[in-house]
Amino acid sequence: MDDAVAFLDADAAALYDLVNPWDPARWPGDGFYDELVMAAGSVLDVGCGTGAMLHLAREHGHSGRLLGLDPDRAALGRARRRADIEWVEGTAASARWDAVFDLATMTSHAFQCLVTDAELRASLAAVRAALRGGGRFAFETRHPQARAWEHWNPSHVFDIVDATGRNLRLWHETESVVGDVVTFTGTTAAADGTVLRTDRTSLRFLDEATLDGFLAEAGFTIEARYGAWDGGPVTAASREIITIARRRRLGGERPPRRRT
């Protein structure tokens, strides 16, 4: 069976929304970002996916500039159901805005998709450039000590009925762990096990020291750091490294102009 015919990119994007509904009232992580977004005058959501976070912000009365950036054309197709938000196809490193946003976000562990040192440096530089002086960058990454990839195997199967009424089975399987980069597959299958689609992804699991080195090099200071969505500190049991970083002024850089 042809995977492209069996389960299209648009089907995968719709399924993502079904499996991962954005709900600040139910999920503490969503609530964490929702509070930051609603308090910011302008927001750049890097790796916005289907745009659910920005959709809800606008629905709840955010009146400032909201812009979602993502390389996934099918996901952006769903995001563009709201025309009162800007949507741009591209990667973090391709961002070309200059000091126009108060807040940048990377939710749902999207930061881990920046696998190489070059990608990290280029992406952080572009995000910093897009922020106004003192602007904030909020994101999370899975803590490597929790070894999340050890639970990504076919024994953990998720059954769901999609919007068209199809009974589907979903699972992940780790293929390799090389240094701090984990490569795994995500499989979508019919109820009888017939594989409809397989997607391969690589994620980077940075420890705090390495992460903070990249942030400092890019011109960020750490404003807040949490190990859990309830605001607790990073501990030996933490599964997340949640960061709010602030853009600092680099040597030789002019101070930001006053806004009137």
Residue pLDDT, tens place only, 127-162? 999 999 999 999 999 999 999 999 999 999 999 999
pLDDT value, residue 249:
77
Which residues share a beta bridge with 202?
183
Nearest to residue 132, comparing CAs of 104, 111, 96?
A: 104
Q: Which residues of the chain have pLDDT under 50?
A: 1-5, 258-260
Do 55 and 124 lie in a common domain?
A: yes
- The distance from CA 116 to its chain's CA centroid, rounded to whole angstroms, is 17
Token pair listed for 258: 């006053």
List the beta strands (DSSP E) in the chain.
42-46, 65-70, 86-89, 101-106, 131-142, 158-161, 167-178, 181-190, 195-204, 220-226, 240-247
Residues 153 and 231 in one domain: no
In a domain, 195, yes or no: yes
Taking CB atoms within 8 Å and a gap of at least 24, the contacts of 114-117 are 114/204, 115/181, 115/202, 115/203, 115/204, 117/214
> Residue 193's domain spans which residues?
146-204
Are 112 and 77 part of one and the same domain?
A: yes
- Residue 237 pLDDT: 97
Please indicate, yes or no, if residue 89 is contained in any of the structural domains: yes
Residue 3's pLDDT is what? Answer: 40
**148 secondary structure, DSSP code:** G
**Residue 39 domain flag:** yes
Q: What is the CATH number of the domain that holds 107?
A: 3.40.50.150
Q: Which two tokens stand for residue 71?
A: 């390389």
Q: 243 and 177 share a domain?
A: no
Q: What pLDDT shows up at residue 192?
A: 94
Please name the amino acid found at residue 127. Answer: V
CA 217 to chain centre: 21
Q: Say if 10 falls within a structural domain.
A: no
Predicted local confidence at residue 2, as pLDDT? 44
Kindly report each contact of residues 90-96 with a partner whose C-beta sits within 8 Å and lies 24 or more positions away, as own/partner: 91/123, 92/46, 92/47, 92/122, 92/123, 92/126, 92/127, 93/119, 93/122, 93/123, 93/125, 93/126, 94/126, 95/44, 95/46, 95/69, 95/126, 95/127, 95/129, 95/130, 96/126
Both 67 and 122 in one domain: the answer is yes
Tell me, yes or no, whether 159 and 123 share the same domain: no
57 shares its domain with 45: yes
Q: Is residue 253 part of a domain?
A: no
Domain shared by 108 and 237, yes or no: yes
236 domain residue, yes or no: yes
Task: Specify whether 29 is located in the same domain as 151.
Answer: no
Residues 73 and 151 in one domain: no
Does some domain include residue 113?
Answer: yes
15 lies in some domain: no
SS3 25: coil
Residues 86, 184, single domain; the answer is no
Q: Is-contact 74 50, C-beta < 8 A?
A: no
Output the pLDDT for position 42.
Answer: 98
pLDDT tens-digit map of 1-28? 444 446 899 999 999 999 999 999 999 9
124 and 58 share a domain?
A: yes
* Residue located via tokens 């040597």: 251
> Can you give the pLDDT at residue 1?
41
Task: Provide the domain count of the chain.
Answer: 2
